[in-house]
Structure 1
Amino acid sequence: MAGQPGRPGRTAWLRARSAWLRARTDTLRDAPFPRRLAAQLIHIHVLDTATRLAAQVFLTAIPVLFVLAAFMPDEVRTTVSDSVRTALGFQGSSLDEVKGVLQPEGNTATTDTFGGIGILVTLLSATSCSRILQRLCERTWHLPHLSGRLAAWRWLTWLLVWLAALVIQGQVRSGFGAGDILGVFLYLITATLLWWWTQHLLLGGRVPWLALLPGALLTGASLTALAWGSRLYVPRSLNRSVTQFGPLGLVFTLLSWLIVVFTAVTLGIGIGYVLAHQGRLVRLLGTPEPPPQDEG
């Protein structure tokens, strides 16, 4: 009974905060672009979200890679290994570490250990990244959270599609053998389409396709630049870290690089929202007005 008097006060506080947020949204709608951009980036918590995404990808990617190594045919394991090597430019000792994960000895024993339940548990745990991405997209577009009952299949679908994309990433980056120039364009197109579809899927179709395009283009372009920049930074840093710290060096370097990657993703999606509400783009893209129930 002691907690009862506090409930009306909390309800009034929530209503007051909701009214303040609505007024703030209306004010920012007419504010200069830099101010709206700064408010949006603060609202989506760029570094916090990027760090959480990087940690979840790192913690769930290793089990998923083990599942791939244990259950997939040799050709698929080799393709995934080549994709990872191409994406991050693995060489020397760091390449040996990755091959040890993706092409382990005693594959039959590992398969028996995992079993069908192991695959299911691993995939379900890996959907934690999908859930964080969904919250990022919803927060970016100021939408209420989609219930787990409606979103669960979207989390798993997102994960499976991105695992399939990982398998062919190495071939895309090499332009399917035609060279790096074609590979750049193919990677840019593929990344843009994947992040365009990602936003639409995880938002539950509540935002029109065209309004999501600026965020997809920004994210695809930034990841394309990072993908080719990783060839200069990651191999040297990985080899130096692995030589000094062993497997822990691989952990430190990859986690740091993943934070950079997901900072680019968070910025791309967040800035894309602001651009979609900019001037003539609102009419051109059919961008919907922000909902009145803005969740701070």
Structure 2
Amino acid sequence: MADAEAAKPWRTRAVRLYTALKGGFVGRCTARAFEIQITDRMLALAAQAFLALLPLVIVVAAAAPDSVTDGLVDVLRKHVGLSGGSTTQNIEVIAEATDEAGVTVVGSLLVLLAATSFSRALQRVYERAWRLPPGGLRSAWRPLAWIIGVLVYFVVLALTFKVSLGGVPWTLTRSLITAAGSLVLWSWTPFVLLSGRVRWRALWPTALATSCGTVLLGAFSAEYVPHLLTTNERRYGTLGVAFAIESWLVVLFAVVVAATVVGTVLVETPGRVGVWARGTPMPEGWRRIPRREARARGGRSRNTGDKPGGDGGGDDDGIRPT
């Protein structure tokens, strides 16, 4: 009996600690990660990026001018770590072979449409993280628009890498442009794929977390991945290189999905941090009603956190005032 009585305080403390962790920020992030099935999501994104995006990059490299192609290879070297060995040479040879064979309009469109399978998978991740229903047929064009926007982003980034002449000033400038471009990309990505149903202000924490995570991963990859690729290529040939790239993609999208979870939970956090992230003290203040839906509701677009029957304002931009 004495031992049982002595054990009760420890059990009580353990229960209190578990309750605190479960209700805290880390606990809520963990629960949201399990809710969206983070393991399945990052594996699916990695597989679809490998099967859908890489052929699109090859087509763009084959159809683009030499300056853009060289810049894309430089981007792969810096962010993926494809430097040294014959891996980069193989990519260049594939692009040259595709260029010599010719890239037809129909083939390019098929590759582009196939790449939308990746953007649709990423769209489902954002919708689950924000607990939003699918956008429907009206938003069916957004995955394709996102793919085109990402291609433009990489072409601009490739040209930036190409015109950099070297030296510390150019290296610093290129790093700043890369970081700023990454922040813009990961702010624009969820806004487009979520059909504009989340305010820009509420997407900043996700964009900042994703941008920092991907930039740090790119710096780490530039140091570690070349050795991994060289080792796998020497041991297993081209198949080993494919496994290494697929593993890198899994890590990349683990960072992307985890940053999405952290940003989403941060916006929903009560207290000053959540108010700052949302830009409003209202718990549902992160919601945004797109213009088309606002017009269908009779212009009640300010009251984005309430039901359609609530009081609304006349601002048709769908953004709740801060």
Q: Return the TM-score normalized by structure 2.
A: 0.74
Q: What letter matches 1:166 in structure 2? A: F
Q: What letter matches 1:214 in structure 2? A: P
Q: What letter matches 1:281 in structure 2? A: V
Give the CA deviation at 1:205: 0.6
C-alpha separation between the residues in 2 aligned to 1:181 and 1:42? 39
Are the counterparts in 2 of residues 175 and 182 from structure 1 also a CA contact under 8 Å? no
Are the counterparts in 1 of residues 77 and 222 from structure 2 also a CA contact under 8 Å? no
Could you tell me which residue of structure 2 aligns to residue 79 of structure 1?
Answer: 71
Are the counterparts in 2 of residues 135 and 145 from structure 1 also a CA contact under 8 Å? yes
Moved more, 77-86 or 129-138: 77-86
Could you tell me which residue of structure 2 aligns to residue 61 of structure 1?
Answer: 53
Kindly indicate whether residue 33 of structure 2 is the aligned counterpart of residue 45 of structure 1: no
Are the counterparts in 1 of residues 71 and 160 from structure 2 also a CA contact under 8 Å? no
Kindly indicate whether residue 283 of structure 2 is the aligned counterpart of residue 283 of structure 1: no
Kindly indicate whether residue 157 of structure 2 is the aligned counterpart of residue 169 of structure 1: yes
Q: What letter matches 2:141 in structure 1? A: W
Could you tell me which residue of structure 2 aligns to residue 96 of structure 1?
Answer: 89
Stretches of structure 2 that go unaligned for 5 or more consecutive residues are: 1-18, 288-304, 307-322
SS of alignment partner, residue 204 of structure 1: coil
Give the CA deviation at 1:253: 0.5
CA offset digits 1:4-38 (Å, max 9, x no partner): xxxxxxxxxxxxxxxxxxxxxxx99x932222122
Q: What letter matches 1:159 in structure 2? A: I
Whichever structure has more helix as a proportion of its residues is 1
Counterpart of 1:157 (choices 126, 145, 148) is 145
Could you say what the CA RMSD is over the residues aligned between the two structures, in angstroms?
2.6
Kindly indicate whether residue 225 of structure 2 is the aligned counterpart of residue 237 of structure 1: no
Counterpart of 2:254 (choices 248, 259, 263) is 263
- The alpha-carbon distance between structure 1 residues 175 and 68, as it changes in their structure 2 partners (threshold 3 A), is closer
C-alpha separation between the residues in 2 aligned to 1:174 and 1:240? 29
Could you tell me which residue of structure 2 aligns to residue 4 of structure 1?
Answer: none
- The alpha-carbon distance between structure 1 residues 243 and 122, as it changes in their structure 2 partners (threshold 3 A), is same
C-alpha separation between the residues in 1 aligned to 2:129 and 2:214? 19
Identity %: 34
Give the CA deviation at 1:81: 2.0
Q: What letter matches 2:213 in structure 1? A: S
- The alpha-carbon distance between structure 1 residues 70 and 172, as it changes in their structure 2 partners (threshold 3 A), is closer
Counterpart of 2:117 (choices 112, 116, 128) is 128
Q: What letter matches 2:86 in structure 1? A: S
Q: What letter matches 2:92 in structure 1? A: K
Are the counterparts in 2 of residues 208 and 286 from structure 1 also a CA contact under 8 Å? no
CA offset digits 1:142-163 (Å, max 9, x no partner): 000111x222221111111112
Q: Return the TM-score normalized by structure 1.
A: 0.80
SS of alignment partner, residue 124 of structure 1: helix
SS of alignment partner, residue 103 of structure 1: helix
Q: What letter matches 1:96 in structure 2? A: Q
Give the CA deviation at 1:50: 0.8
SS of alignment partner, residue 187 of structure 2: helix
Could you tell me which residue of structure 2 aligns to residue 116 of structure 1?
Answer: 105
SS of alignment partner, residue 230 of structure 2: helix
Moved more, 78-87 or 152-161: 78-87
Aligned length: 260
Q: What letter matches 1:202 in structure 2? A: L
Structure with larger Rg: 2
Q: What letter matches 1:38 in structure 2? A: T
Could you tell me which residue of structure 1 aligns to residue 241 of structure 2?
Answer: 250
Moved more, 57-66 or 170-179: 170-179
Q: What letter matches 1:80 in structure 2? A: L
CA offset digits 1:119-146 (Å, max 9, x no partner): 1111000001110111011001000011
Give the CA deviation at 1:181: 3.5
- The alpha-carbon distance between structure 1 residues 235 and 253, as it changes in their structure 2 partners (threshold 3 A), is same
C-alpha separation between the residues in 1 aligned to 2:163 and 2:273? 33
Give the CA deviation at 1:174: 8.9
C-alpha separation between the residues in 1 aligned to 2:119 and 2:25? 30
Give the CA deviation at 1:172: 5.2
C-alpha separation between the residues in 2 aligned to 1:182 and 1:69? 24
Kindly indicate whether residue 265 of structure 2 is the aligned counterpart of residue 274 of structure 1: yes
Q: What letter matches 2:117 in structure 1? A: S
- The alpha-carbon distance between structure 1 residues 218 and 136, as it changes in their structure 2 partners (threshold 3 A), is same
Give the CA deviation at 1:179: 3.9
Stretches of structure 1 that go unaligned for 5 or more consecutive residues are: 1-26
CA offset digits 1:147-190 (Å, max 9, x no partner): 1x222221111111112222243565799443444433332221
C-alpha separation between the residues in 2 aligned to 1:181 and 1:95? 24
